Each structure stands twice: as structure tokens, then as C-alpha cells.
Structure 1
Amino acid sequence: MTRSILITGCSSGIGHDAAHGLARAGWRVFATCRAEADCARLRDEGLESFALDYTDAASIRTALDEALSRTGGTLDALFNNGAFGCPGAVEDLPTDALREIFETNLFGYHELTRLVIPVMRAQGHGRIVNCSSVLGLVPLHWRGAYVATKFALEGLTDVLRLEMADTAIKVILIEPGPITSKIRVNSIPHFERWVNWQESPRRAQYESTLLKRLYEKRGPDRFELPASAVTAKLIRALEADRPAPRYFVTTPTYLMNIARRILPTSALDALIRRG
């Protein structure tokens, strides 16, 4: 039987490449996006697509029900991928900005995962793959909101993996970064909505660093890989007989995973500050 997977955040980047890559690999892919216009575009590309908004519990339930109705009640895998960034210094981030990003980057993952687990229990197997980041392993300037959600996702996923060890449900983390995507461009509206950088004591730092990164055209980051690199690791995670708890993508994720384990915190901080 054809294996099925529900993927979130498929409008671009990692999710878009994963949806097409898994379809080519023979999976039945349910490629979801927050906006219906993006879903229509994916349907034109030959994918099965419908809306799923992580901030709307009814939308999450409706999307899962739609996938299950198309498979006769089964789902082999879930790839929680949709997320966004809200850059800015921690001292300049309103708490409501954190609440908003956690709704998508963590609470939505949790809501969907809790709905999927009973389906996988009933069928006797399943894989839940959560897309984290190198910023779920180590911190970085200006990324406090995003880092907080990914650190939380790491912890929640680790606990779920331990708890699911007595079942046939495998829980896995993918650790990308940096990957070619629109996440930087897509973060600009959130930055403009929430961060009053003009009145910040760090205004000069914003002007010399973050604003240039957000608004100026630039080439790829050092070590950046295309989204297909994530898809390759995702396929390994889904198809391995005994999947690893974590799959690292790009050189920085490997290096930072080692560095956080062997370096004192002060030395790791110094390494990150040097870039």
C-alpha cells in the first residue's frame, strides 16, 4: 500500500521541496498551507493540498480529518514543518509577540501531534517528524523569539520520544540550518509589527546589522544548502528501519551540536559572537 504523510508549511522552502520530493519517492503527500491561495497553487503543481492553520484548532482538526477521509482513516507519517521568525533583541520583543510565534511554532505542532497519535496507535505504527533548527541547539543574536520556540520544541519532542518508546510510533527531529528559504523575507512583517527599533537603545546595532540582513539583497549564507538537503534526510528518517532521534543538515548543525556538548558556556558564547 502507498504510504501517506501530512506535511505542514508547504507554500515554499523546506515544506514545498519535501512535498514534491516525497511524492516522487512514491508517498501519498497531503501538502498543507495556511493560505488557500497557496494550496490552489500546489494543486496546480499536482499535489493534494488543503489548508491547515496552526493557530486555529478547528483548521487543524479539519485538515487532519480531510487527510484521513482520503486514506480511509490511516496516516503513516506527520512532518511538522510550518514556522516563522520574529527577529529583534529580546529586550525589544513585546510578550504578545512571543505568544504569537509560540502559537504557530510550538502549540500548533502539539495540537496536531496529539490528534495524530490516536490514529497511529490504532493502526499500530507511525512516524512523527518535527522540523527544528540549528537554533534549537544554540542561540544567536536577534533570534530570541525563534530560538525560544525551537528550544521548547526540542524538549517537547525529546520527552514525546521517550514516552512513545513503548509504542510503534517513532518520534524524530530534523535539524536544518541554514537552508535556502523565504523565512527571512517572511519575518519582515512580524518585525515591523512588533519591534520598535527606532526607540531601542540598540538602534545603532539594528542599523549596522539586522536591518541590513533583513532588507538588503544578499547572497546565500555561508554553508547554506538547498531545501532538497532536508528532504533527503527526511526520507531517511521516514524509511529507516530504526530511525535516529535526530538528523542533522548542513555543517553548522553538526559543528554546533558538538560544540554545545564539549565547550563551556562562556567559550560557546564567544564562538557564536565571532560568527
Structure 2
Amino acid sequence: MSRTVLITGCSSGFGEATAHLFAQRGWNVVATMRRPEVGVELGKRSNVLVTRLDVQDYESISAAIAAGISRFGSIDVVVNNAGFGLNAVFESIPREKIQEQFDVNLFGVMDVVRAILPHFRAKRDGVIVNVSSGVGVFGLPMATLYNASKFALEGFSEALSYELAAVGVTTKIVEPGAAPSTGFPARTGEEAKQFDIPSDYDDFIAATGAIYSGFRDGADENVVQKVAEGIFFAATDHSHQLRYVLTEDIKPFVTARRETSESEYMGLMRRTFSLTASEA
């Protein structure tokens, strides 16, 4: 029998590409999104169920899981891909936006995991793939809230992996880097235009924005497909490996964070982001 994956955030970007990839490789796919009407192309596949799931709406999570099991008989893998980013200095971000950042990137993942676990425990089998980010490993300026939510997701996922191993369920974390073609970086910055940002930050924002533009200009054009391939590999490699670094752009920072001293790591980050001489 074909295996089944449920993926959140399939309206575009990594989620959409991952849904297509699983379907192409013979899997049944429960492709979920807040607005199912935008998933027309995915819905044309006979082995794909497009259904509503908003990670901020717990009832929609349970309904999507039930619909997937009803259609395909079982769910074998869950990919928590839905995400929301903010690109702004922390002082300018309203409290309600901070709450929303954690509602989507952390609490929503927790709710999806909680909802699927009875099904996975009943058959003592299942894989959970949580889509983190390079900024779940290292801190970046103007990404404080996205950083915080992804750092928390990494800690949650690692701790969860020990608990779930006891009931036959495997937990994975995938860490992609920048993907300008998805529109995600642009959307994260666009939202910040409505915030009241103190003018004291103007020079810092301009300098940091120029650095990020350089990163985007050097981004791999095929990054979305590579990330989809990485998610598929993590979900199907039958290993107990926890973390997977999926894109080349973040590897120097990940290596520095995980394999060098604190002073070496901070020196690299401060040089990269052109902080003042007194901080370097």
C-alpha cells in the first residue's frame, strides 16, 4: 500500500514543492493550507487531497487529520512546514505580532504534533519532520522573533524526539537557508513597513539590508527543489538522525556555531554583519 504524508503550508514555496515531490514518488499526500482554493494544481493529482488546515485553528488541524485518514486509511509522515516571518528591529514589533509569530512557528507545530500522536501511537510508527531554519541555529539581526521561534522549535523537537522514540515515532528537524524565489523573505520585510521604527536604527537597517541583498543575490536558484528533496530524504531515510542542514548558504554559519569556539563564532558573525569596532 502507498504511504501517506500530511504537509502544512502547501499553498506555495517549500510546502507546495514538497507536496508535488511526494506525490510524484507515489505517496498519498494530504496537502493542507489556510485557503484550499489556491491549491488547484495540487488537487489535480489523484493521490493528493487538498484540505484546509490553519495552525492557529485547532479544530481545523483535527479535521484535516481526520480527512486524510478517511481518504487514505492512515497517515505515516507529518511535515510541519507552515511558517511566518518578521524582518524588523525588535523594539518596533507590536506584542500581538510577537504572539502571532509563536502561534504559527511553535504553538501551531505543537498542536499538529499533539493531534497526530494518538494515531501514530496506535500503530507505533510515524515520522514527524519539523521545518526549522538556519536561524534556528544562529542568530541574525532583524530576525529576533523568527530566531526566537525557530530556536524554540529546535529545542522542542530535540526533547520531543526522546519521548516519541519510546512509542515508535521518529522526529526530524530540517534546516534550510534563504529562498528568495518563494517570496518569503520579501513578505517578512513587507510586514515591517507598518511598524513604527525609531529613526536611531536607520543606518543599521540600511547596512543590514545591503548585506541581506547580497545573500539573496547569491542564492541558489534551485533551492526550493533541493529543500523539498531534503525533506523527502529526512522523512524516508529510516535513520535516527535528528538534524539535516539542507542548503549550502548556511553551512559556514552552522559549522561555526556547532564546531568552533564561542569567540570564533561571534567573531565571524560580527565581521559578517559589520558591527562597530568596539563590538568586534
Structure 1 residues 94 and 219: alpha-carbon distance in aligned structure 2, compared to 1, 3 A threshold: closer
- After TM superposition, give the deviation of residue 26 of structure 1 in Å: 0.9
Q: What amino acid does structure 1 have at the position aligned with 2:262? A: T
* Structure-to-structure mapping, 1:6-25, within 5 angstroms: 6-25=6-25
Give the aligned partner of residue 36 of structure 1.
Answer: 36
Q: What amino acid does structure 1 have at the position aligned with 2:251? A: Y
Q: What amino acid does structure 1 have at the position aligned with 2:205? A: Y
Give the aligned partner of residue 161 of structure 1.
Answer: 161
Q: Can you list the C-alpha shifts for 1:73-92, whole angstroms capped at 9, x where unaligned?
A: x2100000010211111222
How far apart in 2 are the matches of 1:134 and 1:217? 17
Please state if 1:236 is matched with 2:233.
yes
Give the aligned partner of residue 251 of structure 1.
Answer: 248
Q: What amino acid does structure 1 have at the position aligned with 2:29? A: V
Q: TM-score, normalised by structure 1?
A: 0.89
Please state if 1:132 is matched with 2:132.
yes
Q: TM-score, normalised by structure 2?
A: 0.88
Q: What amino acid does structure 2 have at the position aligned with 1:136? A: G
Give the aligned partner of residue 54 of structure 1.
Answer: 55
Q: Is 1:92–1:200's contact at 8 Å kept on the other side of the alignment?
A: no
How far apart in 2 are the matches of 1:189 and 1:58? 30
- After TM superposition, give the deviation of residue 222 of structure 1 in Å: 4.2
Structure 1 residues 56 and 231: alpha-carbon distance in aligned structure 2, compared to 1, 3 A threshold: same
Q: Name segments (4+ residues, structure 1) moved above 4 Å.
A: 216-219, 222-225
Give the aligned partner of residue 64 of structure 2.
Answer: 63
Q: What amino acid does structure 1 have at the position aligned with 2:78? A: L
Q: Can you list the C-alpha shifts for 1:256-275, whole angstroms capped at 9, x where unaligned?
A: 33211233334322312333
* Structure-to-structure mapping, 1:89-238, within 5 angstroms: 89-179=89-179, 180-193=181-194, 195-197=195-197, 199-210=198-209, 220-222=217-219, 225-238=222-235
How far apart in 1 are the matches of 2:176 and 2:221? 10
How far apart in 1 are the matches of 2:187 and 2:95? 20
Q: What amino acid does structure 1 have at the position aligned with 2:173? A: L
Q: What amino acid does structure 2 have at the position aligned with 1:80? A: N
Identity %: 31
For structure 2, the 5+ residue unaligned runs are 273-280
- After TM superposition, give the deviation of residue 100 of structure 1 in Å: 0.8
Structure 1 residues 247 and 27: alpha-carbon distance in aligned structure 2, compared to 1, 3 A threshold: same
How far apart in 2 are the matches of 1:28 and 1:117? 19
Structure 1 residues 269 and 91: alpha-carbon distance in aligned structure 2, compared to 1, 3 A threshold: farther
Structure 1 residues 265 and 196: alpha-carbon distance in aligned structure 2, compared to 1, 3 A threshold: farther
- After TM superposition, give the deviation of residue 149 of structure 1 in Å: 0.7
Q: Is 1:10–1:19's contact at 8 Å kept on the other side of the alignment?
A: yes
Secondary structure (helix, strand or coil) at the match of 1:49 reads strand
Q: Is 1:178–1:225's contact at 8 Å kept on the other side of the alignment?
A: no
Q: Can you list the C-alpha shifts for 1:103-160, whole angstroms capped at 9, x where unaligned?
A: 0111000001011011011122100000001110001111111111100000000000
Structure 1 residues 54 and 260: alpha-carbon distance in aligned structure 2, compared to 1, 3 A threshold: same
Count how many residue pairs are aligned between Structure 1 and Structure 2: 270
Q: Can you list the C-alpha shifts for 1:143-182, whole angstroms capped at 9, x where unaligned?
A: 1111111000000000000111212110000111123422
Secondary structure (helix, strand or coil) at the match of 2:127 reads strand
How far apart in 2 are the matches of 1:64 and 1:110? 14
For structure 1, the 5+ residue unaligned runs are none
- After TM superposition, give the deviation of residue 29 of structure 1 in Å: 0.7
Secondary structure (helix, strand or coil) at the match of 1:106 reads helix
- After TM superposition, give the deviation of residue 11 of structure 1 in Å: 1.2
How far apart in 2 are the matches of 1:48 and 1:221? 36
